Amino acid sequence: MKLVQFVGLLVCGMLVLGCEAASNKEGGDVAGQDSIGGQDLLLDGNQADGVDAGLDTTVPQDGATDDDTTAPPAQAELIYKTCSFVAACLGDSRISLYAGNCYKDLYMHLSMSPDPKKEYDRLVECAQTATTCADFVACDQLGVTYDCQSPSDGACVGEALVECLSSSEIRRIYDCQSADGMTCVQGKGCTTGTQCPVGPQTSICDGNTLVNCDSAEEGWEVWEKRYDCPEGSTCIMISPYPQMPAFGGCYRNTVTVETCIEAATCNGDTMKSCGMGVEMTVDCAAFDRTCTTTPNLACAPLANQCVPRQSPGYPEDAYQDNCEGSTLKTCMNGRIIEIDCGTLGATGSCALAGTLQGDLRGVCN
């Protein structure tokens, strides 16, 4: 596990935050059905007027009529829209296998622990300008073309680092230069060109820039990487235990404190937690969630429509996709989401394909 990932997990654990909460507040199984794609978003079967290139996220209140609707919070709207494109257009999502995990990953990115590589930021930006899957994929892949030969294949194409998901599918494309001023070096990836010293993995803050060096042994070539923390986040050095050295990470809604007065609380729908010398405050309602302390402190989904997987290791949003005509039905944030493939795909059709886990994923063709 990379240190950047480890930092995020430690923050979630030490601050007693439910970063991937599966619980719902009592009475939180709100009926709702969202439709994102061609013309509308449906909740409780109510249809809202289509806006914004056919990707509408207007949400009725509980018990609302067709004319009594309200828009979801701006942050939640960004995530629903982005993850609808991810689910419909990217096949095996490079964020995660399930659309539900896409929502949780972007929720973490926008609320607590942002992705310093800016990959999630690019997905959000692409979703705001795209009107079809072709638009979204072209924007996300930076116009780069590469013929993947194997899952471990990858190369520099100009200043873009390409990683492969399979023998024919691109997994990720990083823009080394524009995001953080690094250079793509064949066999080394995005790097500043500075070789890391021999020793354990380190992560430090240089102002608001996160500087990472993987662990290196004598004779190894390990290269430094620098990431400017995403807009609205701060690079903070944290030492979880007195005997451990401090390490850096990018955080949102977080400030350093000398002592914690309250370790874990809900103030309405605001989640507040403290530990490791930092205090974090998150507005759960901004993400179509609610603050709960049961079974642990978390911003938990308001809705509970998705049937949980019974197999160990599956996330709560591991809902098996379905196609109903040209409509793709998937799950995000506890809600069943309907995506109209009629306007997103080249042929306007919905199709199901098997995954490595034996489930069915839907895509818009």
pLDDT at 110: 94
Token pair 């500043």: residue: 192
179 φ/ψ sector (left φ>0, alpha ψ -120 to 50, else beta): alpha
DSSP 278: E
Q: How far apart are CA 46 and CA 351, in angstroms?
A: 26
User: What is the residue-wise DSSP string for 215-243?
Assistant: -B-TT---B-EEEEPPTT-EEEEE-SSTT
What is the pLDDT, as a whole number, of residue 218? 82
pLDDT in tens, the chain (365 residues): 444 443 443 445 445 454 544 333 322 222 333 333 333 333 332 222 222 323 444 443 444 344 444 567 899 999 999 999 988 887 654 555 456 678 989 999 999 999 888 888 889 999 999 999 999 988 988 888 888 887 777 789 988 898 887 666 777 888 888 767 799 988 888 999 899 988 988 899 999 999 999 888 888 888 999 999 998 999 999 887 777 888 999 999 998 887 776 678 999 999 999 888 889 999 999 999 999 998 889 999 988 887 655 444 545 445 778 899 999 988 888 888 899 999 898 889 998 876 655 667 788 98
* pTM score of the predicted model: 0.79
The b/e string for 52-73 (b: 16+ C-beta within 10 A; e otherwise) is: eebbbbbbbeeeeeeeebeebb
- Cα–Cα distances (Å) from 260 to 14, 123, 264, 265, 271, in that order, read 12, 36, 10, 12, 15
Give the span between the Cα atoms of 277 and 282, in whole angstroms: 17
Q: How many CA atoms lie within 13 A of 168 on its CB side?
A: 1
The CA R_g of the chain, rounded to the nearest whole Å, is: 21
Distance separating alpha carbons of residues 285 and 277, to the nearest angstrom: 26
Q: List C-alpha distances in Å: 221 to 162, 191, 199.
A: 20, 12, 12
Characterize the bridge pairing of strands 335-340 and 33-35. Answer: parallel
Q: Are 50 and 39 in contact (CB under 8 A)?
A: yes
Amino acid at 154: G
